[in-house]
Amino acid sequence: MAWFSRKDKNQKKKNSPADMSPIEAVTHLCAAIQLADGQVDFEERQSWISTISKLFPEFSEERADRFLNEANQIFGQKSNSEKINYITNVLNRLKTLLSSEQIQLLGPKISELIEADGIVMTAEMEIAKLVEKQLGITILVDEDL
């Protein structure tokens, strides 16, 4: 029975933003935006796939899906303040993992993700503002959608 608890500890450690791979960190950021309105639409998922494909052309879809499922579980277990702290840690990790060119690509991709379902929610815009502040990029969103 002890081996179950060790697995849980390893799982928590693995999901720490400080230990994330680039594709994992981007996926967790996208999941936060997708879940900000309480549901993930097909269009948002397609936008996430487009982002991953653009940033990491040789990605494994199976691996990316696993990261997305993990992110959805993590965000489902956190309070709003814990989510903001977690996103901030993910953004700090992205600053160390991504090149400046990749970070600049994130701006338009995040805009697409926020607009993907045709509705711009306040929670999504709050995350966008945090991304802008932390990564020094601009995210342009048509808030009248």
Render pLDDT for 46-58 as a digit per residue (tens, 0 to 9).
999 999 999 999 9
Q: Which domains does the chain have, with CATH numbers?
A: 7-135 (1.10.3680)
Residue 9 has pLDDT above 60, yes or no: no
Spell out the residues 6+ positions from residue 131 whose beta carbon is closer than 8 angstroms to its own: 29, 91, 106, 110, 137, 139
Mean pLDDT, residues 58-70 taken together: 94
Instruction: Give tens-digit pLDDT for 73-94.
Output: 999 999 999 999 999 999 999 9
pLDDT band at 8 (very low <50, low <70, confident <90, very high): very low
pTM (two decimals): 0.88
Which contacts qualify for 11-19: CB closer than 8 Å, 24 or more apart? 15/70, 15/74, 17/86, 17/89, 17/90, 17/92, 17/93, 18/89, 18/93
- From residue 100, alpha-carbon distances to 23, 95, 131 in Å are 15, 8, 14
Mean pLDDT, the chain, rounded, equals 90
Q: Which of 7-11, 33-37, 54-58, 118-122 has the lowest mean pLDDT?
A: 7-11
